[in-house]
Amino acid sequence: MEALVNPDRRSLHQRILDDVQGRILSGEWPPGHRIPFEHEMTAQYDCSRMTVSKVLNQLARAGLIERRRRSGSFVLRPHSQSAVLEIRDIMTEVQALGLAYRFEIVSRAKRRATRTDLDRLHLEAKVPVLDLACLHFAGKEPFCHEERLINLDAVPEADAEAFAERAPGPWLVERVPWTTAEHRIQAIGANPLTAAALGIAEGAACLLIERRTKGAEQPITHVRLTYPGDGHELVAHFAPSRN
């Protein structure tokens, strides 16, 4: 059915996807437009229905179109901005700036979880926790102040770890299987502790990233990363169907 010699290097469904996506992005098919039925595209591209279906389902997952039974598929209007945010590893980030990276454990304490700890970890039982403070440097300058709680019920081996070679973040990523995470991003004025650690004025604008990480069974860790506001920005991209 298809041309014997591949006309270009893309697969058939990739070409169809690019075609349809192009029409949507260009405005040729504006929001609300009903795109051709599967059986129509099957004829138009001279391919099987599965191939068309795969393309349209990809576009639907990417949020470009909506599929309705008995009605057809429709171009959606660009929905309330949702974007993919890349939160990179601190070491990677520093090295991307062309600076030398190192970190220091500033303080370390083991205790039964206090009420604040439980709140931060989203826990109820008063489990043992490890409370770490850590400074990350870019060259000679402090780059980020890390305050971390680790649930020792979930990761007991953290108690015996010195975190000399690897910072607590990468150490946990290596050790703990797949997780889900929730991030909160705020601007705050530096509190006295953080200001002293980062060598900035109290109240200076800082970017605070809080991350709560859960494993399959229970919460694993909570971390507050504070960056001086003038030295850091997050970048997020919004684009249809990353393929």
Residue 107 contacts which entry, its own copies, DNA, none (Cβ below 5-8 A, type-dependent): none
Residue 30 contacts which entry, its own copies, DNA, none (Cβ below 5-8 A, type-dependent): its own copies
* Chain mean position to CA 212: 12
- State how far the alpha carbon of 117 is from the alpha carbons of 5, 112, 159, 183, in Å: 63, 9, 17, 17
- Sheet with 72-75, strands from edge to edge, namely 34-35, 72-75, 65-68
Output DSSP code: residue 79: P
- State how far the alpha carbon of 154 is from the alpha carbons of 114, 170, 219, in Å: 17, 16, 7
* Cβ nearer to DNA, comparing 60 with 99: 60
**Which of residues 20, 21, 29, 51 is near DNA by CB under 7 A?**
51
| Residue 61 near DNA by CB under 7 A | no
CB of 109 to its own copies, least distance (A): 25
* Cβ nearer to its own copies, comparing 66 with 230: 230
Please identify, among the stretches 60-68, 129-137, 157-165, 167-175, the one whose residues bind DNA according to the rule CB under 7 A. 60-68
**C-alpha–C-alpha distance, residues 195 and 229, integer Å:** 12
| Residue 13 near DNA by CB under 7 A | yes
CB of 180 to DNA, least distance (A): 23
CB-based burial label for 99 (10 Å; 0-12, 13-18, 19+): middle
| Residue 242 near DNA by CB under 7 A | no
CB of 134 to DNA, least distance (A): 38
Residues 28-51 as b/e (b if ≥16 CB within 10 A, e otherwise) read ebeeeeebbebeebbeebebeeeb
* Cβ nearer to DNA, comparing 80 with 243: 243
Residue 49 contacts which entry, its own copies, DNA, none (Cβ below 5-8 A, type-dependent): DNA
**C-alpha–C-alpha distance, residues 243 and 50, integer Å:** 18
Q: Segment 69-128, which members bind DNA (CB under 7 A)?
A: 69-73
CB of 60 to DNA, least distance (A): 7
Tokens at 89, concatenated? 């590893």
Question: By the criterion CB under 7 A, which residues form the site for DNA?
Answer: 1-2, 6, 11-14, 37-39, 46-51, 53, 56-57, 60, 67-73
